[in-house]
Structure 1
C-alpha cells in the first residue's frame, strides 16, 4: 500500500471555500454556545434550545449541528422537561496566549505546550518570509489582515483570533523548510481545534485589545513586504514577549 503524501502546505489540507462556508455557521454557533458555557458557573442554565437558537441566529438544522459539536466537547449538558434546556457542565480550562486568554474545551496542558512551541518557531518563519515571500504571498497575508479588520469592526473576538492564526499560517506557508512548515501548521491546528473563546488579559477593553493586535500584525506584514528584517524581528518578539501559560 502506498501512503498518501503529507499535507505540507496549508492549501493541501484546507477545505475548499465552498465546503468551509457550509461548515462555518455550525462552528460559529458552537463557539457562541461554548463561550456562554465558559462564562457561566458549572451547572448554570444557559437557556432553552429555542432561546439559544435565536441567540445564535441560525436555523434549527444548523443549531442541532452546533449542539452536537459542543456536546462532543463536553462543555454543555442537555436536559429534557419543562425546566430543562442547556446547562454549563464545567468551567473551561484557560491558557494565556500573548495578551489574551483562551477558553479551551479540554487538555489545556497540550495547548499550552503547542503555544510555547509555536512562539519559539515564529522568528524562524518570519526570517524565511523575509527571504522568500513573493508578491502573491504578501497579497495572501493582506487578505487575512482584511479578515482581521472585519472581525475587529464586528467586535468578534473568536473570528479575529481565527483570522490571526490564518495569517500566521500564511507566513509559515512561505518557508521552504517542509519539516518546519508542517510542524508549525500542526501546532496551529492543535491550538485552534480546542479554542472556544478569547478575551483580553486584564482590564483592557476588547475593542482596544483587538485594535492593538491588528496594528501589530499589519506592521509585521508591512515589514515583511519591505524586507525590513530588524523591524520584522523586533515585531515578532514584541508579539511573543508575554506569551506564556498561566
Structure 2
C-alpha cells in the first residue's frame, strides 16, 4: 500500500477485548483525569471477561492513553486525560479505526530511530544531505502555508530518506513498513493543545533541521539528543510517562 493511501475497508466486528476496553474507556471519559476506576479484578468482573481478555483490553486502553495502572495499596486503574485518538504532542493525528495499531507502530518507530541515526552518522553522503535538505525545504513551504497535513507527510518522507541511508536492508524495510502503516491510517491533523498549530509545526521544522545539521557535522551526541526530543510514543504500559511528543 502506498503512503498516500487511506484505508477505507470496513472495520471488523470488535473483539471481546475491544468491547471490554470500550466499556472501561467510557468510564474513563466520564471521570476526571486521575480518578480511580477500580481494581483490575473489579473492572474485569464488570466486563464479564476472562483474565487474559481483560489483560488485552488493558493493553489497548494504555496504548490509547486512556488509563494508567498504579501498583500497591491504594493502587488500581486510573483515568488519564480522555482522548479518542492517538495524541502526538500538541498536534493530533485524526485516525481511522486502527488507532491502536498506529500507537504501536509509533512506539516501535521511535525505538528504531536511534539505530537509523547511528547509520546516517556513518554512511550519509553529500548526495544524501542534498536530498534531506530538499525535504526540509518542502517542510518549510508547508509551514509557510500553515498546511499541517502537508507538513506531517513531508516529515514522514524526511524520515524515510534518513532510513534509506542505512545499509541494513531489514531495518530499512521494517521502518518503512511502520511509516506506511501510520500514514495509511491517518485521516488528517487537528489542533490538540493551547499552542497554535502553525507555531507548533514551525518548531518541529526547526527540530528536524537541527537533526540534519547534527548529522552533517557528524555530531553523534547532538543527533541522539535531538532524536530523543523528537520521540512521539504514547504512554508506556504501567503509566506515569509524559504525554507523547510530535510526528
Shorter-chain TM band: 0.5 to 0.7
Q: Does 1:243 align with 2:242?
A: no
Change (3 A) 1:195 1:14: closer
Secondary structure of 1:94's counterpart equals: coil
Structure 1 unaligned segments of length 5 or more: list them. 1-12, 16-23, 28-68, 76-91
Partners of 1:137 and 1:174 within 8 A in 2: yes
RMSD: 2.5
- Number of equivalenced pairs: 165
Indicate the residue corresponding to 1:129 in structure 2.
120
Query: Which of 139, 146, 152 in structure 2 is aligned with 1:155?
Result: 146
Q: Partners of 1:217 and 1:223 in 2: how far apart? A: 10
- Could you say which structure has the higher helix fraction? 1
Q: CA deviation at 1:201?
A: 3.3
Q: Look up the match of 2:131.
A: 140
User: 1:170 is paired with a residue of what secondary structure?
Assistant: helix
Partners of 2:155 and 2:115 in 1: CA distance: 18
Which is bigger in relative contact order (C-alpha 8 A, separation at least 6)? Answer: 2
Structure 2 CA distance for aligned equivalents of residues 73 and 197 of structure 1? 17
Alignment counterpart, residue 105 of structure 1, candidates 89, 96, 104: 96
TM (norm. structure 1) is 0.62
**1:95 and 2:86 aligned:** yes
The runs of 4+ residues in structure 1 deviating greater than 6 Å are: none
How far apart are 1:143 and its partner, in Å?
A: 1.0
The change in CA–CA distance for 1:218 and 1:182 in structure 2 (over 3 A counts) is same
Q: Distance in 1 between matches of 2:204 and 2:116?
A: 19
In the TM superposition, what is the alpha-carbon distance from 1:243 to its structure 2 partner?
2.8
Q: Distance in 1 between matches of 2:170 and 2:10?
A: 34
- Asked whether the equivalents of residues 97 and 115 of structure 1 are also in contact (C-alpha less than 8 Å), the reply is no
Counterpart secondary structure, 2:188: strand
